[in-house]
Amino acid sequence: MTFRDFKTAGHWPTLLASFLYFDVSFMAWVTLGPLMVYISRQLNIPTAGRFTLVAIPILAGAVLRIPMGLLCDHVGAKITGSVAQLVVIVAIAYTWVFGLHGKLDVEILGAILGLAGASFAVALPQASRWYPPQYQGIVMGIAGAGNMGTVLDALIVPSLAESYGWQSAIGTLLIPLIPTFLFYVAAAKEAPGPRTPASWAKYRAIFADRDSWWFMFFYFITFGGFVGLATSLPLYFTIQYHASGVAAGLMAAIVVMFGSTFRPVGGFVADRIGGIRTLLVLFSVIATAYFAAALLPPGPAPLDDGSGVAAGWSMAAMPAAAWEAVVLFSAAVLCLGMGNGAVFQLIPQRFRSEIGTMTGLVGCFGGVGGFFLAKTLGYAREAAGTFGAGFLLFGALVLAGMAALTLVKRRWRSNWGAVSGARV
């Protein structure tokens, strides 16, 4: 593959618009993660409640991906994506002006932010439909790399909240959201060829196909792990290692950066050696990292500065144990990000004509995986005083994913993989 061939194979303005749409939408989707340290302090929300609130946008985004995928098939991706962006912009502007005054307000905002997470079901098939099979891994990786918005969120938002308050910090999201919306409206185009609107009969057929359930499970592991950790790590670092809000956000940004930037690499590698082989290697690393995370001890708390309340560690003063956790989670999230790209190298080969529907369904299960991880970590911490049980559970799920891949790989390669025109 050469850059010139790739550039002329599809429609790069739509690919760029899809990437930017997904990027800033993802930033809005997970913004409650780094802000929850400050919101919960103002509203006096307990630990388990914090993990529940940061998980609400993930679950809402998961559920909304199915109707968003349906709308893409019926009215087109551009109209669907444009309306969703407008709703999110209005909700964030309202929160910036009027604030949040209770737990219910946070829950409502989280549900609306789910529309931003559902952008996955719009941006990826919108870009995918423009390109032939041999470019699906890299195209889906580029469009899906919009999840690097998580990095920007964790990197910038806590510092803004610390200096100007969380309400002003959430208002700054309008700065990238509005120009991206305008560019998307101007540049994105529908792929040529007729759309095939999804019917309930098509959904029944997809659900009856066992391969669809395997893809949902694999994305539950990869994307669920990525987004679940992205939203939970700021809270994890403040609780486990007593980091300040800014330091926790910066450490989470370091970790999430690897998953975001390596998603296209996962798609590229899967194009070269096959998605199944790629996932088997990645799953082995992810499982090891989860089991190691379950054994991490908590870090020491900083001393009371005389005010009666111990301030959190700054980045410069962070104990070595916290940096060991950063290295471990970085390795895990890098592989989770590559796994996202690898899963979506396989899906268009198996479900080419149902890519919109499958993107919504698989994305839904990925979001549910993120919700499940965040809730599991919160419950584990509340029940046992440690996050270990939550990481052990997800490590076991990854091992189950490896067993499933080993089970299906021969059938996939000899059936649809043999005629797909790409490595499987």
CB distance 29 to 55 below 8 Å:
no
Does 423 map to a domain?
A: no
CB distance 254 to 81 below 8 Å:
no
DSSP, res 314: P
pLDDT reported for residue 1 = 52
Does 5 map to a domain?
A: no
pTM over 0.85, yes/no? no
d(Cα 422, Cα 402) in Å, to the nearest integer?
A: 22
pLDDT reported for residue 15 = 87
CB distance 115 to 87 below 8 Å:
yes
Structure confidence by residue, pLDDT tens digits, 305-330: 554 444 688 888 888 999 999 999 99
Number of domains in the chain: 1
Does 270 map to a domain?
A: yes
> For residue 332, what are the domain limits?
13-190+209-300+313-414
CB distance 377 to 65 below 8 Å:
no
Tell me phi and psi for residue 334, to 5 degrees: -55, -45
Enter the tokens of residue 70.
């349906």
Torsion of CA 16, 17, 19, 21, to 10 degrees: 160
SS3 96: helix
Does 8 map to a domain?
A: no
d(Cα 5, Cα 381) in Å, to the nearest integer?
A: 51
pLDDT reported for residue 309 = 43
The helix (H) or strand (E) run that includes residue 107 is helix 103-117
The helix (H) or strand (E) run that includes residue 371 is helix 355-384
Q: Kindly tell me the sign of the dihedral angle through the C-alpha atoms of 69, 75, 77, 81.
A: negative
Question: Any idea what the Cα angle at residue 142 is, between residues 137 and 144, rounded to 5°?
Answer: 90
pLDDT reported for residue 264 = 81
CATH number at residue 396: 1.20.1250.20
SS3 13: helix
Q: Which residues of the chain have pLDDT under 50?
A: 307-310
83 contacts: CB under 8 Å, gap ≥ 6: none
d(Cα 98, Cα 108) in Å, to the nearest integer?
A: 14
Q: Alpha helix locations (H) across 295-354?
A: 320-350
Residue 291 CA: distances (Å) to CA of 229, 259, 286, 398: 15, 19, 9, 10
Does 307 map to a domain?
A: no
Does 92 map to a domain?
A: yes
d(Cα 350, Cα 276) in Å, to the nearest integer?
A: 13
Please give, one letter per residue, the 3-state secondary structure of 177-236: HHHHHHHHHHHCCCCCCCCCCCCHHHHHHHHHCHHHHHHHHHHHHHHHHHHHHHHHHHHH
Does 133 map to a domain?
A: yes
pLDDT reported for residue 13 = 86
Does 385 map to a domain?
A: yes
265 contacts: CB under 8 Å, gap ≥ 6: 141, 338, 341
